[in-house]
Chain A
Amino acid sequence: MDTPITESAFIGAAVGAAVCGMRPVAELMYIDFMGVCFDQIFNQAAKFKYMFGGKAETPVVIRTSIGAGLRAASHHSQSLYPIFTHIPGLKVVVPSSPYEAKGLLIQAVRDNDPVIFCEHKSLHYIQEDVPEGSYAIPFGEANIVRDGGDVTIVAFGLMVQKSMEAASKLAKEGIQCEVIDPRTTSPLDLETIVESVEKTGYLVVVDESNPRCSMAADISAQVTDQAFGSLKGPVKMVTAPHCPPPFSDVLEDLYIPSPNKITEAIRSLK
């Protein structure tokens, strides 16, 4: 079904349809414009189950694109998944590859809660082996993309790819990174992250969001709370700076966390 560019109307319609028994997957082009329909998402979809004593279910999926890198300026380049992670009642998915995207979207459609599905624009045309058959990847189960004993890297979406590049580079210098893709920011598999930090003693969180109240800040705080005794150094956050995504290509390239920034952060720990 094609919809006009009226986010408040079609997201409202999708949420209403979900409560009435359908399972809509609504695609809202850019996460930047979610602000137009925050009420439908934050105050309606996220709260129906809680406020109606568990009687209402809202199995709606909102697909949206995130991320900088396409020279699309501040209105079309943000990574706003932490805002949705903050709201109880929403599930938030940030897939990192084609294989992950298929399995996580199938899980999102089958889930009975509202799901915000955040696709990084720079991942859309990357290729990978993907099974033809249907398969679901459960929410709240992190994927350990690379094993390593020296430092834990937690990264989301495109940042998983950038972290893997950084990890390959550091391996040549004898630093073995463990790269963890939590897949979903809500629910968050903190257990896998804490177990890894207990092994490595170091944590770097790579998040394309702005740093304040980001997933990087959230995970840093939670790991510090739960595994302070295992940390051998400060928790490092590699994020975008606290400014809107720039239109200038030179500045945009500086804005996005790069493999170099990740390796610099890790070298500063050792």
Chain B
Amino acid sequence: MARIITFREAVNEALLQEMERDPKVIAMGEDVIGGSGAKGEMDAWGGGHLDSQRVYMENLVIGLWIPQLLSRLS
């Protein structure tokens, strides 16, 4: 069923649906809490889901290390 929504809402809905479908999908927003995001953007992305993704921070940091990347690929 279709309903009228804004471009911004459509983008947030797409993100939420993809995060629900696949737990590997994570959303990162620049300075959202600092005031640059749309009101309620973090809530729209699902706070609990995002909190649960924080465990993957380790993965992110590791990702910054190119030698580690190369060793994974070998």
Contacts and interface: CB of A to CB of B under 8 A. Distances in A.
Interface of A: 1-5, 7, 9-10, 12-29, 52, 55-56, 63, 95, 97-99, 101-103, 105-106, 109-110, 119, 123-134
Contact of A56 (B2, B28, B73): B73
A62 B52 CA distance: 21
Given A2-B34, A16-B64, A102-B13, A25 B28 contact: yes
Contact of B64 (A13, A105, A125, A132): A13
A19 B26 CA distance: 14
Contact of A20 (B34, B50, B72): B72
A101 B11 contact: yes
A129 B64 contact: no
Contacts of A132: 1-3, 13
Chain B contact residues: helix, strand, loop or mixed: helix
A105 B28 CA distance: 15
A14 B34 CA distance: 20
B1, B3, B60 pick with most chain A CB within 10 angstroms: B60
Chain A contact residues: helix, strand, loop or mixed: mixed
B2 A20 contact: no
The 10 closest A-B pairs by CB, nearest first: A16-B63, A98-B10, A105-B14, A102-B10, A13-B60, A129-B2, A26-B28, A109-B18, A98-B7, A2-B33
Interface string B51-67: 00110100111111100
B5 A128 contact: yes
Nearest to B17: A134
B27 interface: yes
Interface residues of B, number: 45
B44 interface: no
A55 B2 contact: no
B40 to A, nearest CB: 13
A3 B8 contact: no
Given A63-B11, A119-B11, A27 B5 contact: no
B26 A13 contact: no
A126 to B, nearest CB: 6
Given A19-B63, A23-B24, A124-B7, A29 B2 contact: no
Contacts of B21: 134
A130 B13 CA distance: 10
A105 B22 CA distance: 14
A3 B28 contact: yes
B64 A12 contact: yes
A18 B56 CA distance: 11
B30 A10 contact: yes
Contact of A29 (B4, B7, B31): B31
